[in-house]
Amino acid sequence: MVSELISKAERGEPLGTKDVFRLMSINDKNELEELYAAARRVRDKVFGKRIYTYGFVYFSTHCKNNCTFCYYRRSNTGIDRYRKTVEEIVDLSASLLDAGINLSDLTMGEDPMMYADDYKLLIKTISAVHDEVGISIMASPGALPERMFPVVREAGADWYACYQETYNRELFESLRLEQSFDDRRNQKIWARKAGLLTEDGMMIGLGESVRDRANTIVTMGSLGCDQVRAMTFVPQVGTPMQDFTPYDSTEELKAIAVMRLLNHDKLIPCSLDVEGIAGLRTRIDAGANVVTSIVPPSKNLAGVAQHELDIENGNRSVEHVFEMLDETGHRHATSTEYKAYLDSRRRKALR
């Protein structure tokens, strides 16, 4: 029975892949509501009214890779790309901190310029934000060699994010062309070993089966990541997947709720990069506890899945997101609260 499975997960008892498959197969409206309600109770019990907030600083949109789903893949020639200077990245991160945002997510394509001279510019960027701003930092720079993780940690990053998209190896290889499945999985393990907190993520609507989704959720949990996400694929013009029929958000919401039931004390994002601000409420109501991809207007910054949606009209701005959070009955957490959470996660990792 689905209700029994949900209660079992809510009590914190472990579920197997079969159970997760059963939950990810729910289609009945009442059962879905039951799932979301349990996910909310679990989140609120652990985190209270606090929701964390992340600013998205996509500082270089140049990329040597050719992921079939991504707007910024190297073969998508003729699109606008940019690379921010270290000074601009520091200023952007400082304004996020001043506005009350908890973390600066320093994200880039696999930009050869950032990777040159042993990742000199990447490391310089992280150090500058750490030394000059003091906001918590997530680095999302793509796949790195193992020896770089201690350097990234030393430069001041709190987090390393790298999404497998799917733990179906064949599907992975058909999406992340010319990239190694094992190497990308190992990124999370190497990062943890170097003392970084880690994030893994799945994409939904890429041709994966329900079983693949269940298996990916279980695998992400077992890798020991501190933050896990699901994002619905948004088809991009100029890419091989541009004519894919997009999913609505149901499967993503289900995945958020199931991840919450399996990972009571982890961070689970509500990304504004899929449906813009319109998608905030439903994701919070499914058990998410971090709003990611907050992008300030007028800075010429892009999103990933939605490179323009809700940015220049200010809907993805800090003030607007804080207001919307209040309407859900929650509030944005302070940086002190966020840093305390990070410290508790690090202590846990050492044990």
- Which residues of the shown chain bind ligand SAM in the complex (CB under 6 A)? 69-70, 107, 109-110, 140, 142, 162-163, 165, 201, 203, 231, 233-234, 236, 304-305
Burial (0-12, 13-18, 19+ Cβ within 10 Å), 247: middle
230 is an interface residue for ligand MD0 by CB under 6 A: no
Query: What, of ligand SF4, ligand MD0, ligand SAM, none, does residue 236 touch, CB below 5 to 8 Å by kind?
Result: ligand SAM
Residue number, nearest CB to ligand SAM: 305
* Residue 23 CB, nearest approach to ligand MD0 (Å): 24
User: What is the C-alpha R_g of the chain?
Assistant: 19
Query: What, of ligand SAM, ligand SF4, ligand MD0, none, does residue 301 touch, CB below 5 to 8 Å by kind?
Result: none
208 is an interface residue for ligand SF4 by CB under 6 A: no
DSSP element (H, E) containing 232: strand 227-232
241 is an interface residue for ligand SF4 by CB under 6 A: no
* Residue 134 CB, nearest approach to ligand SAM (Å): 24
Query: What, of ligand SAM, ligand MD0, ligand SF4, none, does residue 162 touch, CB below 5 to 8 Å by kind?
Result: ligand SAM
CA neighbor of 171 nearest in space, from 200, 211, 123, 136: 211
Q: Are 305 and 273 in contact (CB under 8 A)?
A: yes
Query: What, of ligand MD0, ligand SF4, ligand SAM, none, does residue 171 touch, CB below 5 to 8 Å by kind?
Result: none
DSSP element (H, E) containing 270: strand 269-271
68 is an interface residue for ligand SF4 by CB under 6 A: no
111 is an interface residue for ligand SF4 by CB under 6 A: no
Could you tell me the two tokens for 157? 């990053």
User: Which residue, 103 or 162, has its beta carbon nearer to ligand SF4?
Assistant: 162
CA neighbor of 144 nearest in space, from 174, 189, 102, 177: 189
CA dihedral 172, 177, 182, 185 (to 10 degrees): -60
Could you tell me the two tokens for 252? 């993503």
User: Which residue, 203 or 261, has its beta carbon nearer to ligand SAM?
Assistant: 203
The CB-side HSE value for 19 (13 A sphere, CA atoms) comes to 18
Piece of 62-70, 84-92, 236-244, 343-351 that binds ligand SF4 (CB under 6 A): 62-70
Question: E strands along 38-133, which residues?
Answer: 50-60, 103-108
* Residue 3 CB, nearest approach to ligand MD0 (Å): 32
107 is an interface residue for ligand MD0 by CB under 6 A: yes
Q: Are 177 and 145 in contact (CB under 8 A)?
A: no
Burial (0-12, 13-18, 19+ Cβ within 10 Å), 351: exposed
User: Which residue, 165 or 226, has its beta carbon nearer to ligand SAM?
Assistant: 165
List of residues contacting ligand MD0 (CB under 6 A): 56, 105, 107, 140, 161, 269, 271, 273, 292-293, 303-304
